Amino acid sequence: MEAKQYIGEGWKHAILIIGAIVVMLPFYMMVSMSLKSQQEIQSISGGLIGAQETQTFPVCVKTGYSEETCTMKPYQYNYWFAFEKAPIPRYLMNGVIVTLSIFIIQVLVALPCAYALAKLRFYGREFVFSMVLFCLLIPVHGIALPLYVMLAQAGLVDTYSALILPWTISVFGIFLMRQFFMTVPDELIDAARMDGMGEYAIVWKVMLPTAIPALLAFAIFSVVAHWNDYFWPRMVITGNRDLFTPPLGIREFRGGIDSDEFGPMMASIVTVTVPLIVAFIIAQKRFIEGITLTGMK
């Protein structure tokens, strides 16, 4: 390569690096603040991890712990106090229960729908599909109130059902899977029929395994959206702290009599974010590997 080309490549990389920094910066701040003491955070000093001086934390003492218990390094304090003040494992578990239930039911609904829309010929199919597309246009917030009223009438407010039920039919999922199923050759389905599979067996035993890459893409959308969702849980979980999802849990650290305690707050946010990032990394690998359709062509 000539020097000129290096410069051209260099520009591209410089721009990409700047973009990456912009995206990474909030995460850097989050991790950094979860490790530092309150004074270092407020004075914006101490670099990534701060001085880590052992000290006694006043808010902790005020909460009623002995001074001895409240003396430790800032990073220990932040994470210890975050878990002490709020039942974070419980919130994480709620997050897992809710997002997984939503995802599993979404798949149970979307796959047969998508299969029917993509591969079966029936009267009104195009109309049904256009209704699916139409539903993509409805914003969640527009129908939040009627949904809430319906759940309230059914006595479901403050239950897991309230968190899960409204999201079980994902039009986006139906649309995405339908587009993927369109690419699966008809002959594969015919072969399965000749082998004696029924239509449901075809969905779960033939279409599902070939659709793993598309399903993973959908899983990422679905899980991230509902793990991070603040709006809906805030609406339907009115009193029961045991049902708080992670984003609601973080709110525990906001304001109040003790003023804002950024350290433990950021520590809790790190705890809530890490599972998602780990899930992402695992899924990404499968994403690339995928199950290709090469066996059929």
Partner 1 sequence: MGTISLKNISKSFGSTQVLNNLNVDINDGEFLTLVGPSGCGKSTLLRIIAGLEQQTSGDVLIDNKNVNRVRASERDLAMVFQSYALYPHLTVRRNLETPLRLRDYNAFERLPLIGNFSPSKKEKTESINQLVNKTSETLKISELLDRKPGQLSGGQRQRVALGRAMVREPVAFLMDEPLSNLDAALRVHMRSELSELHNSLKTIFVYVTHDQAEALTMSSRMAVMIDGNLLQLDTPQEVYDNPSSLSVAQFVGSPKINIFKGTSDSGGTVSFLNVNLKRKSSESNTDLHIGIRPEHLEITNESNENTFSGTVAYRENLGSDIFFHVNIEDGSNKIIVRGLPQFTHQISNGSSVNIKRVSDKALLFNQAGMRVQFTNA
In the complex, the smallest distance separating the C-beta of residue 108 from partner 1, rounded to whole angstroms, is 17
| CB within 8 Å of 55: residues ≥ 6 apart | 37, 71, 72, 74
Q: How far is the CB of 121 from partner 1 (least distance, A)?
A: 10
- Shortest distance (Å) from residue 203 CB to partner 1: 14
As a three-state string, the secondary structure of the chain is CCHHHHHHHHHHHHHHHHHHHHHHHHHHHHHHHHHCCHHHHHCCCCCCCCCCCCEECHHHHHHCCCCCCCEECHHHHHHHHHHHHCCHHHHHHHHHHHHHHHHHHHHHHHHHHHHHHHHCCCCCHHHHHHHHHHHHCCCHHHHHHHHHHHHHHCCCCCCHHHHHHHHCCCHHHHHHHHHHHHCCCHHHHHHHHHHCCCHHHHHHHHHHHHCHHHHHHHHHHHHHHHHHCCHHHHHHCCCCHHHCCHHHHHHHHCCCCCCCCHHHHHHHHHHHHHHHHHHHHHHHHHHHHCCCCHHHC
Min dist. Cβ of residue 21 to partner 1 (A)? 40
Q: Which of 49, 51, 197, 235 binds partner 1 (CB under 8 A)?
A: 197
Question: Which of 105/201 has CB closer to partner 1?
Answer: 201
Q: Which of 191, 224, 225, 283 binds partner 1 (CB under 8 A)?
A: 191
Mask of contacts with partner 1, 133-172, x by CB under 8 A? ----------------------------------------
Binders in 30-89 for partner 1, by CB under 8 A: none
Least distance between partner 1 and beta carbon 111 (Å) = 15
* Of 9 and 195, CB closest to partner 1: 195
State the minimum distance, in angstroms, from the CB of residue 217 to partner 1: 17
Pick from 187, 257, 259, 288 the residue near partner 1 by CB under 8 A.
187
We find the least distance from the C-beta atom of residue 105 to partner 1, in angstroms, to be 20
294 binds partner 1 per the rule CB under 8 A: yes
Residue from 142, 150, 209, 258 in contact with partner 1 (CB under 8 A): 209
Residue of 185, 200, 238, 274 that binds partner 1 (CB under 8 A): 185
Q: Please give the radius of gyration of the chain, using alpha carbons only, rounded to the nearest integer.
A: 25
- Among residues 9, 53, 195, 242, the one that binds partner 1 under rule CB under 8 A: 195
Binding site for partner 1 (CB under 8 A): 185, 187-188, 190-197, 201, 206, 209-210, 212, 291-297
